[in-house]
Amino acid sequence: MSDRTQAHRRPDAEIILATSASAGLVAIPVGEQYRWADTALLVTEGFQRHKNGVHVLRDLKAMPEVMPALAHAARQHRVVLTASPRSYLGDYAHELATHLPGTWTAKVEVYAHPVWQEDWIPLLWDSGEVAEAMEHRRIPYGAVLSDGAGTELLLIEHPGSARAYLLGACAASTFDDNYQNPYAPKSATLPAFARLAALQVATEYLPAYERALHERLLAAVEAGHARLEEIRASGRSDLARHYAEESTTIFRRLRPHAAELLARTRSAVVAGPEDSVVLDRLHGLLNPAGTTGAPRPSVFIPPRPLMPASADEVGQWLADGPLLLKHARTARPSAPVSGPRPALAPPSRSLAAPAASVTVRRLPRT
Report yes or no: 337 and 200 within 8 Å, Cβ to Cβ: no
- Residue 132's contacts (CB-CB under 8 Å, 6 or more residues apart) are none
What is the predicted pLDDT for the residue at 22?
92
Q: Is the pLDDT of residue 326 over 80?
A: yes
CA pair distance 63, 349, nearest whole angstrom? 20
pTM for this model (two decimals)? 0.86
- Residue 19's contacts (CB-CB under 8 Å, 6 or more residues apart) are 25, 26, 87, 88, 350, 351, 352, 353
Report yes or no: 108 and 143 within 8 Å, Cβ to Cβ: yes
CA pair distance 231, 101, nearest whole angstrom? 45
What is the predicted pLDDT for the residue at 176?
78
- Residue 349's contacts (CB-CB under 8 Å, 6 or more residues apart) are none
What is the predicted pLDDT for the residue at 276?
95
Nearest-10 Cα torsion for 326, 330, 336, 339: 160
| Average pLDDT, integer, range 9-31 | 95
218 secondary structure, DSSP code:
H
CA pair distance 188, 169, nearest whole angstrom? 10
What is the predicted pLDDT for the residue at 172?
77
Closest of 111, 33, 113, 45 to residue 73, by C-alpha:
45
**Can you say how many angstroms the Cα of residue 125 is from the centroid of all Cα atoms in its chain?**
8
Q: Is the pLDDT of residue 5 over 50?
A: no
Name the more confident of 19 and 237.
19
Bridge partners of residue 166, in order along the sequence:
156, 189
CA pair distance 357, 309, nearest whole angstrom? 69
Mean per-residue pLDDT of the chain: 87
What is the predicted pLDDT for the residue at 105?
96
Closest of 189, 138, 185, 144 to residue 1, by C-alpha:
138
| Average pLDDT, integer, range 263-284 | 93
Q: Is the pLDDT of residue 359 over 50?
A: no
Give per-residue pLDDT as tens, 85-139.
999 999 999 999 999 999 999 999 999 999 999 999 999 999 999 999 999 999 9
